[in-house]
Structure 1
């Protein structure tokens, strides 16, 4: 009975509501914001490297980006891309690109809102996220509480078990390490980072994520350069099969609808645009320029890096190998490992296993940071809340390393579907405020000024916004 209900909810969310809803909301914000992510793409880098550093109030924009990338860049970039290619053919990669490009505007909107409605906690550090802009911006605290609960269950608990399960399986396959031993090591490592709080996680992500992604991309770049003469043909195949201009081997598995649906699903799982996850860390950043929109640009860049850069790298690695077959039995992590081994020898198997270790481990600690923000929203003065969350999160890491329980993991997918649906409704409802913030920011840039948000100039935004952060005295 439980499996039937969970299965129905997942079908409802991931075959209908979110596949079309997330894409539609991305298109909506893309059009309403004047194709912001294309026309002002350079602003993402300008804001990211504008020189802001962390201070006693919050983390730097670069740390916030690295932490959100730690969550986004995970097993989905290795196993998820392989699954999309197997089930949907090369054309699925094109639709992953589309999802990411329109999703950049959604990521911009939700992160700008998280900045606008952030607050200072008891230690004087910035906190916020979707639960807060639902409670403060929409004046719907119940909506915020429901969102916070499903986020904690999904990202703080069950998905940590999923990631540890992937790591333990990869370590056992490549190096023969017992799953329980991997789980214990993960608990120790994750505990050291998690008990450092959001700042500790940000410091960890700032150091590990650029190296992790950089090494992975360098290896794939080597493979691409070694096969550069066939790369243009592969890129054409991706586009051609997305629209049915070129038939794929494997029959229905390579059809246009299969490419569309699998590309959209895997893209959404990977980049998380509109899910309501990344805004939790975006709210913790000290923006530079001092404007809510600036952090929106930073998180839009995160979507681009995750899908257009990292997922494309994995797709090319697989397609360049001789082991890839549309609709074939080899899929997921095993396909990516086989593709790497085909290109760089047996070391490729170990390389992918180590990549999964780092990708999934950083996802564990970043997911926890989102859950911590949500727990602070729910605590209402109950001090042990964060400690209980940390212990439960680590327990799930250990448990997940030795389990394979589809029901619980499917329940997490259903919870994430609910979480994303709630968030989409909220950001569309708040979209006039996103438009106002964007116009204010771009008008100041156009006038040659460094953008600065002054709450006094926008009284229509004042309700629910902390004046000591965004008012003149908060600068």
Structure 2
């Protein structure tokens, strides 16, 4: 199994996704008129003061916090440390690049998820890549393949990745055995997961902003204390990305190591183009009521995840001076804990353990919500199939808590790569639809109107769209 996983990773990451992710991101950046730069304030406007819900869906703010719950986790703490250890400081630069172009990719995939969403048997909104593959591209086969990959990766494997990081940090900080951490985490996560997507939304809405805010405050303290060294760290990151500082700190991996590890860990962290966040984006009631507004919300999630939180982690690690690129050097969560210990003393490992406990816990419940969406597409949304998925997800949490970090990350990389490859093909095929929606949205904004999408006004976009969702009294649904 290890040989198969390693082969998949070498092909998909070495020849497909490293260039595919950047290429698709650049493609959408250009085709959408550099939307993430020209309309950057709009990414915030669609979320400020937006808390509308309806019996059919959750609010844009809840959709953002659930997607951040999934994004902000292991990738921001352990993933950044792994990127630096394997790719040197330059890997962070490529994480930034993935995020900058990824804001356009994330916008595109979540806009499509909104457009092609449906109502399930309980009148709840459901949607995501599988739905726009079936209804937009016209290929249910793509939708089935994507859904299976999503369930395997997010419903199962990524839960193991998150619990692995929690287990490592709890053992390092408090000496708690991995199995004890796994069982306890599975029990608490199970309580939330068995409550359904609305329960997940309520928990994420409270935990994610609070924990992210505290983490950023600690990072700001570290930056202020070391403010004179911060410019040099940014220069080191940029120079190392292009091989000008390959030997910095003993790292000798070169440009490709920085590029490969930056892209891999960047995607794992912000998930742009992977097709994960669109699953929750589709369940939101957009405000303004236009598919593009929810696309902008999820684009903002990429910015917060990588350009804010990952950068904070990277600077804390690099400023600490504790990175050892030798074979016995600390990596993953332990490296992040060692770095913060160098800045704030004995409280550092404990703080990181608590931070990853909350970040990774919310990732587990957020990831599960994506898998449940995929089960709906496969026609497995009944009580018994979902019960099996929930039990399996909890079992993976326990399994991940006692596995070596390399094993868990390799499995995660392989499943993520297959899933992302299928999604990237689909959104490129539907890029004309995304462009039409974008033009419509900003044309209305420029005219001083609140953007509103109505099915009847777009006869050229009628394929696979549920007209009852977009031709209705918007105000009535918000009551």
TM > 0.5 between the two? yes
User: Structure 2: any 5+ residue segments left out of the alignment?
Assistant: none
Residue 186 of structure 1 contacts residue 397 of structure 1 at CA under 8 Å; is this kept in 2?
Answer: yes
Whole-Å separation in 2 of the counterparts to 1:314 and 1:411: 24
**What corresponds to 1:106 in structure 2?**
105
Residue 52 of structure 1 contacts residue 287 of structure 1 at CA under 8 Å; is this kept in 2?
Answer: no
Question: SS at 1:87's partner residue?
Answer: helix
- The correspondence of residues 389-400 of structure 1 with structure 2, limited to 5 A, is 389-400=389-400
Residue 153 of structure 1 contacts residue 412 of structure 1 at CA under 8 Å; is this kept in 2?
Answer: no
Cα offset for 1:281? Answer: 0.4
Cα offset for 1:184? Answer: 2.0
**What corresponds to 1:349 in structure 2?**
349
**What corresponds to 1:85 in structure 2?**
84
Deviations 1:190-231 (A, max 9, x none): 011101111111111100000111111111111111111111
Cα offset for 1:110? Answer: 0.2
Cα offset for 1:50? Answer: 4.1
Whole-Å separation in 2 of the counterparts to 1:418 and 1:323: 35
Whole-Å separation in 2 of the counterparts to 1:243 and 1:413: 24
**What corresponds to 1:263 in structure 2?**
262
Range with bigger deviation, 245-254 or 123-132: 245-254
Cα offset for 1:415? Answer: 2.2
Q: Quick one: structure 1 residues 222 and 412, their matched pair in 2 at CA, closer, same or farther if it must change by over 3 Å? A: closer
**What corresponds to 1:419 in structure 2?**
419
Residue 91 of structure 2 contacts residue 258 of structure 2 at CA under 8 Å; is this kept in 1?
Answer: yes
Question: SS at 1:379's partner residue?
Answer: coil
Whole-Å separation in 1 of the counterparts to 2:381 and 2:241: 52
Residue 252 of structure 1 contacts residue 258 of structure 1 at CA under 8 Å; is this kept in 2?
Answer: no
- The correspondence of residues 45-444 of structure 1 with structure 2, limited to 5 A, is 45-246=44-245, 248-249=247-248, 253=252, 255-326=254-325, 329-379=329-379, 382-404=382-404, 410-444=410-444
Residue 119 of structure 1 contacts residue 126 of structure 1 at CA under 8 Å; is this kept in 2?
Answer: yes
**What corresponds to 1:43 in structure 2?**
42
Q: Quick one: structure 1 residues 324 and 192, their matched pair in 2 at CA, closer, same or farther if it must change by over 3 Å? A: same
User: Structure 1: any 5+ residue segments left out of the alignment?
Assistant: none
Q: Quick one: structure 1 residues 226 and 433, their matched pair in 2 at CA, closer, same or farther if it must change by over 3 Å? A: same
1:461 aligned to 2:458?
no
Deviations 1:149-180 (A, max 9, x none): 11101110122122212212221221122222
Cα offset for 1:413? Answer: 2.7
Range with bigger deviation, 372-381 or 207-216: 372-381
Whole-Å separation in 1 of the counterparts to 2:321 and 2:232: 15
Cα offset for 1:324? Answer: 2.4
Whole-Å separation in 2 of the counterparts to 1:94 and 1:326: 18
Cα offset for 1:238? Answer: 1.7
Residue 137 of structure 1 contacts residue 464 of structure 1 at CA under 8 Å; is this kept in 2?
Answer: yes
Cα offset for 1:390? Answer: 1.4
Cα RMSD of the aligned pairs, angstroms, is 1.8
Cα offset for 1:125? Answer: 1.5
Range with bigger deviation, 437-446 or 400-409: 400-409
Residue 253 of structure 1 contacts residue 327 of structure 1 at CA under 8 Å; is this kept in 2?
Answer: no
Whole-Å separation in 1 of the counterparts to 2:408 and 2:379: 25
Whole-Å separation in 2 of the counterparts to 1:73 and 1:299: 13
Question: SS at 2:46's partner residue?
Answer: helix
Whole-Å separation in 1 of the counterparts to 2:409 and 2:236: 34
Q: Quick one: structure 1 residues 12 and 141, their matched pair in 2 at CA, closer, same or farther if it must change by over 3 Å? A: same
Whole-Å separation in 1 of the counterparts to 2:41 and 2:208: 22
Whole-Å separation in 1 of the counterparts to 2:152 and 2:254: 36
Cα offset for 1:325? Answer: 4.1
Range with bigger deviation, 391-400 or 26-35: 391-400
Cα offset for 1:240? Answer: 2.4
Residue 379 of structure 1 contacts residue 385 of structure 1 at CA under 8 Å; is this kept in 2?
Answer: no
- The correspondence of residues 21-40 of structure 1 with structure 2, limited to 5 A, is 21-40=20-39
Whole-Å separation in 1 of the counterparts to 2:215 and 2:81: 16
Whole-Å separation in 2 of the counterparts to 1:220 and 1:91: 20
Cα offset for 1:464? Answer: 0.7
Residue 52 of structure 1 contacts residue 286 of structure 1 at CA under 8 Å; is this kept in 2?
Answer: no
Q: Quick one: structure 1 residues 401 and 256, their matched pair in 2 at CA, closer, same or farther if it must change by over 3 Å? A: closer
